[in-house]
């Protein structure tokens, strides 16, 4: 299955990509930074820092939190957070649509039937291949 991943860089220190998008999405769905962090197998602190980074980039709150209450508060996306996420998903959808011919051609070159088929062409170097990615 061929899939496109898109990262948008705003200036040199501020990027928005699949990780931050997924985190915002999960915060919106679960109503909790902690649950969203757990779903992504990251620490609460990591998730919190990512939210801070997004807020620094976009100059405003993307997550609203409420302290206290029965379960110790909750979190939800602000209008800015929702807009950001929706725009990013639109970017993904439009980009994928625009490049589907080229990506199909690449996938054909790659022979997406399965990696084991490709590996059998060069059996001696399979270990090197497993370690190299990008």
Rounded CA-CA distance 65/28 in Å is: 11
Q: Quick one: which segment of 9-17, 31-39, 70-78 binds its own copies (CB under 8 A)?
A: 9-17
Pattern 60-89, binding to its own copies, x per CB under 8 A? x-------------------x--xx--xx-
Phi-psi region for residue 3, left (φ > 0), alpha (ψ -120 to 50) or beta? beta
CB count within 10 Å of CB 45 equals 9
Rounded CA-CA distance 39/35 in Å is: 6
| Residue ranges binding its own copies (CB under 8 A) | 1-17, 19-20, 46, 48-50, 52-53, 55-60, 80, 83-84, 87-88, 90-91, 94-95, 97-99, 102-103, 105-107, 109-112, 114-115, 117-119, 121-122, 125-126, 128-134
């Amino acid at each position: 299955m061929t899939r496109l991943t898109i990262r948008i860089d705003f200036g040199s220190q501020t990027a928005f990509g699949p990780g931050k998008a997924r985190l915002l999405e999960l915060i919106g769905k679960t109503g909790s930074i902690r649950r969203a962090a757990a779903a992504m197998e990251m620490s609460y602190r990591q998730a919190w820092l990512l939210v801070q980074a997004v807020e620094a980039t976009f100059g405003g709150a993307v997550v609203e939190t409420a302290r206290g209450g029965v379960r110790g508060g909750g979190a939800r996306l602000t209008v800015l957070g929702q807009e950001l996420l929706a725009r990013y998903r639109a970017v993904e959808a439009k980009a994928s649509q625009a490049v589907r011919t080229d990506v199909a051609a690449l996938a054909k070159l790659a022979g997406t039937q399965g990696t084991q088929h490709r590996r059998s062409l060069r059996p001696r170097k399979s270990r090197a291949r497993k370690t190299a990615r990008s």
